[in-house]
Amino acid sequence: MDRSMLGAILGSLFGMSALGGLALTGAAPNPAPGKPEGNWRLLDPVAYENIAIFPVVSSSTQDTSPFLTLDEGLSSGEVIVSEQGAAGLARTRDGRPVAVPQYNNGASVNQLVLINRSKRPLLLLAGELVSGGKQDRIIGKDRIVPVGSEPLPLDVFCVEHGRWTGASSQFGEAKLIVHPSVREQAAVAQNQNEVWNAVRSGTLAAPKAVPAGAGGRPAAPPPPPPSALSAEIIGDTIATSAPTQSYAKIYEHSRAGASVDEFVEEIRRRFDRATLGLKGERVVGVVVAYGGDVAWSDIFASGELFEHYWSKLLRSYAVEALARPSYRETAAITDAREFLRNLNGREVVESEPGVYRWREITEGRLSLIELDSIAPRAMTLHRLLLHRTS
């Protein structure tokens, strides 16, 4: 039996709510630990400065066309995101008015209201940014919103600390996903204060461990090369260009943003060249290393879905690279392959019967998050594996 269908059955047995309550928690063995989880092949790294990106390719991918992405839904007006307590009219891209019902009594920092009016289930990824309302927010957790669902209370985190006002209660697409240090605090730690800390500091990754010297005493290591996107630069940007600590203004429209643009274009050029001419395979994801440390991976069910997210994911990886110390080592491909294996550790599962299953497995400092669709067909839509910074 497919594990997604098994999750649906277990969810029903445990009386899951339509909003996705907790199904299973505790230690649970994962089949074949140490073995690759998908039908994937890892290419040689695309390296630049202190980042190395290993393309993940597959000869067999799923049909993900039945699913709608957040950017597509907000752009077309088929998806409406608003502050709680808001009522009024929104308009679709072609100008048609759409009523937005009032939901709850007042706006909340960590909860918005989402309406999916499309004819396709909506895919949401943790860390995707929506812009507007009283302050910009990011999605708190991967999930699927089914067709015809009631207005959904949506868990979010604020990434604009100094604003709580706005001309409209509605949100639009930002076409951004926050960089890994911020995304980790939303998707794994689920801590608003740490989300703010990561926005302000650039990265929460600790410096490398000090190697042992003669007699077991710590050696005096050379200081790490300064990062191109330092806390001082971010602080100056906040003071001059982004007084509300808006993520988009800090990392897109500023001195920091200019550095990111140049970095992204060089990586994109090298990545396109490295993946040109694949025969019978598609790029479905990446494994990302900073210096010699493999830190992150995003893998999708299809090449089409990867391509949809690739531009904003690449920008997020670049921000993280610029914020981390500029170690020039390139990670070994054997270490990157570890990010394609199954984990074996504490497992937490949440599900909405007949719609999706979300699970997190923790093994040491590694966290694996998988989002499985149940309908219209069973598949793992998104797989995130990260080496936690905290």
**Residue 210, Cα to own-chain centre: how many angstroms?**
31
**Residue 126, Cα to own-chain centre: how many angstroms?**
5
Cα–Cα dist 200/188, whole Å: 19
List, as one string, the DSSP characters of 302-359: SHHHHHHHHHHHHHHHHHHHHHS--------HHHHHGGGBPP-EEEEEEEETTTEEEE
Angle, nearest 10°, between helix axes 303-323 and 255-275?
130
Neighbours of 115 (CB within 10 A): 24
Distances (CA, A) of 115 to 105, 121, 151, 194, 301: 17, 11, 5, 28, 25
| DSSP-assigned beta bridge partners for residue 99 | 89
Confidence (pTM): 0.84
Using the structure block, give the residue that is written with the tokens 């906040």. 238
Distances (CA, A) of 381 to 35, 66, 190, 244, 326: 20, 12, 21, 35, 33
**Residue 366, Cα to own-chain centre: how many angstroms?**
16
Q: 188 φ, ψ to 5°?
A: -110, -60
Angle, nearest 10°, between helix axes 192-201 and 231-240?
100
- In 3D space, the residue among 155, 200, 199, 157 whose CA is nearest the CA of residue 179 turns out to be 199
Tell me the pLDDT of the chain (390 aa) as tens digits: 444 444 444 444 333 333 333 343 333 334 444 445 568 999 999 999 999 999 999 998 899 999 999 999 999 999 999 998 765 444 544 555 555 555 455 668 899 999 999 999 999 999 999 999 989 999 999 999 999 888 999 999 999 988 877 767 889 888 999 999 999 999 999 999 999 999 988 888 876 655 555 555 555 556 667 788 888 888 888 888 888 889 988 888 667 777 889 999 999 999 999 999 899 999 999 999 999 999 999 999 999 999 999 999 999 999 999 998 877 788 999 999 999 998 999 999 999 999 999 999 999 999 999 999 999 899 999 999 999 987
Angle, nearest 10°, between helix axes 255-275 and 231-240?
120
Q: How many helices (H) and strands (E) does the chain have?
A: 9, 21
Query: Which amino acid would we find at residue 376?
Result: P
Q: Which long-range contacts (CB under 8 A, 24 or more apart) does 233-238 make?
A: 234/200, 234/201, 234/202, 235/200, 238/200
